[in-house]
Amino acid sequence: MKKHIISVLVQNQPGVLAHIAGMFAARGFNIDSLVVGRTEDPEFSRMVIVSTGDAPTLEQIRKQLGKIVTVVKVRDLSDQKCVERDLLLIQVHCPPEKRSELGHLCEVFRGSIVDVGPRSIVIQLTGPEDKIEAFVELCRPYGIKALSRTGVIAVPRASQTENGSAEAPPRRKRIRTATATTPSGTLVLPPS
């Protein structure tokens, strides 16, 4: 089970999000996160979907996405190098005597304090998911009052886009194997 970041370019039309979300639900695929945003072209939006599953499942997800008429392009970014970012806004319980301690922690993670109240602060942090998760864990002992994340957005690395293709996708697991036999050992067909 591997995490996959799938970038989906879609026509900017009503119902596209419902269609994609519905397809995931109907076919029992997971969505860990889904982000929709505009692109450089007003006709299209980009969705970045994070999903986990084995290779055959991910292959089906890609193909089923490709079948949706309003989906223009599907790209699995996990097969290639990409820049991925998640944005976290977290409100942490913070009495005045803890401010410097949390401020320090924030600096280590290159986050920034974007709001300060009498007994809590709001921190903003961007980065790949694991960094965000590590930071959230460190905040937990202080008391998290509210937390919101955008989910991952991603683009291929510049060096990667230029020289084109990604490495070949990993070989699928064989569901049926040429060596499969019946429970009794070999396939028993009636006599000739």
Partner 1 sequence: MATKPQAKPAAQSASGGVSPIPDVPKAAPASFVGKSGAQALLDILVEQGVEVVFGYPGGAILPTFDALYGAPIRFVLTRCEQGAGHMADGYSRATGKVGTTIVTSGPGATNLTTALGTAYMDSIPMVAITGQVATAAIGNDAFQEADVVGVTRPVTKHNILVKNVNDLPRIVREAYHIARTGRPGPVLVDLPKDVQVRLIENGNGEMNLPGYRPRSKGNPRQVRMAAEAINAAQRPVLYVGGGVILSGASEELRQLARKAHIPVTTTLLGLGAIDEIADADLALHMLGMHGSAYANYAVQASDCLIAVGARFDDRVTGKLETFAPHAKIIHIDVDPSSISKNVDVDVPVVGDAKAVLAELLPLVEYRERAEWFAQIGVWKQRYPFGYRERPGEILPQQVIDQIGKITESKAIVATGVGQHQMWTAQFYRWRQPRQMITSGGLGTMGYGFPAALGAAIGCPDKLVIDIDGDGSFQMTCNELATAGEYQIPVKVVILNNHFQGMVRQWQELFYQRRYMAVRMANPSFAKVAEAFGCTGLEVRDPKDLPDAIRKMIATPGPVVLDAHVSAEENVYPMVAVGKSLHEMEMGGMA
**Which residues are near partner 1 by CB under 8 A?**
9-11, 13-15, 18-19, 22, 26, 56, 59-60, 63-64, 66-73, 172-182, 187-190, 192
Q: Minimum Å distance from CB 156 to partner 1?
A: 20
CA end-to-end span of the chain: 45
- In the complex, the smallest distance separating the C-beta of residue 189 from partner 1, rounded to whole angstroms, is 5
Cβ proximity to partner 1, 157 vs 173, nearer residue:
173
Nearer to partner 1, 61 or 92 (CB): 61
Encoded amino acid at 89, one letter: L
Least distance CB 77 / partner 1 (angstroms): 19
Query: How far apart are the C-alpha atoms of 59 and 128, rounded to whole Å?
Result: 24
**DSSP class per residue in 122-137:** EEEEEE-HHHHHHHHH
How far is it, in rounded angstroms, from Cα 149 to Cα 133? 10
CB of 171 to partner 1, least distance (A): 10
Give the separation between CA 36 and CA 39, rounded to whole angstroms. 10
Looking at the Cβ atoms of 164 and 190, the one nearer to partner 1 is: 190
Cβ nearer to partner 1, comparing 164 with 191: 191
Q: Give least dist CB 69 to partner 1, A.
A: 4
Q: Closer CB to partner 1, residue 25 or residue 83?
A: 25
For partner 1, give the closer residue by CB, 158 or 180: 180
Strand duo 82-93 + 71-76: pairing: unpaired
Smallest distance, Å, CB 83 to partner 1?
25
Query: Left, alpha or beta for 98 (phi > 0: left; psi -120 to 50: alpha)?
Result: alpha
Which pair of structure tokens corresponds to residue 178? 């040429």
**Of 101, 104, 149, which Cα lies nearest the Cα of 124?**
149
Asked if residue 6 lies in contact with residue 59, where contact means CB atoms within 8 angstroms, the answer is no
